[in-house]
Amino acid sequence: MTDPENPYAPHDNRDVVVLDAKGLRALAHPVRVQLLGLLRRNGPSTATLLAGRLGLTSGATSYHLRQLSAAGFVEEDEERGNARERWWRSVHRLTSFGDLTLRDREPEATLAFLQSVAVSHAQATQRTLNELDTMPREWRETLGLGDRLLRLTQQEARQLRNELDEVVARYRPASATGPGEAPEGAEGVQVVLHVLPDLEGSFDSAGRELDQNEDER
């Protein structure tokens, strides 16, 4: 059962879903990635409300929600639903792409899924930038956008990614909304982590990092 005062309360302790082939194919669509993200971030909702957030028809949104339900990512919230309109909730809080062999077995679905996630991240960044002027100054100053080019081995790149995940995991999750779980003034903050292998000659023959601001000659 879901705590009506806290839509993020653990549901049967199922916090993380590890993608299998069926789940990967279900998420290989940008609309479904966005729908799942909205349900996880904002709690239960209806197809009509979600459609308004994404600029879609309620029929199209209902179709994608049914596909997510068939793959086990969302389910009906019968405590909120009625005969006229269904309410949907996320079953898990996080998705893990832990099966590396799945990428080899489902290359097209993997690429479509990763592209959908990248689109979702880009849209979240743009949404924040669009709303920046309306934010309190103190929150505007927390925004950080940056990138750095490193020279790493495969093992070092994996270690970097794992260490970044560990740093983020030390902080309070967005699900901490109940009394005593978060201090006054705490708000949602999205942290987007990208570790992007760059194999297109970002370094010269001497191993020096090329100036990305200079014109290529």
Q: Where are the domains of the chain?
A: 16-139, 149-173+191-196
Q: What is the mean pLDDT of the chain?
A: 84
Q: Domain 16-139, what fold?
A: Arc Repressor Mutant, subunit A (1.10.10)
Q: How many contiguous H segments (helices) and E segments (strands) does the chain have? A: 8, 5
What is the pTM (predicted TM-score) of this model?
Answer: 0.74
> Given pLDDT bands bounded at 50, 70 and 90, which one contains residue 97?
confident
Report the phi/psi class of residue 152: left, alpha or beta, with left for phi > 0 and alpha for psi in -120 to 50. Answer: beta
| 123-153 pLDDT per residue, tens | 889 999 999 999 999 999 999 999 999 999 9
| 24-66 pLDDT per residue, tens | 999 999 999 999 999 998 899 999 999 999 999 999 999 999 9
| 158-193 pLDDT per residue, tens | 999 999 999 999 998 877 766 678 898 999 899 999
Which of 73, 14, 80, 10 is CA-nearest to residue 45?
80
| 67-89 pLDDT per residue, tens | 999 999 999 998 886 767 899 99
Which of 6, 79, 4, 86 is CA-nearest to residue 46?
86
- What pLDDT is attached to residue 1? 29
Residue 55 token pair: 């600029």
- Sorted by sequence, the CB contacts under 8 Å of residue 118 that are 6+ apart come out as none
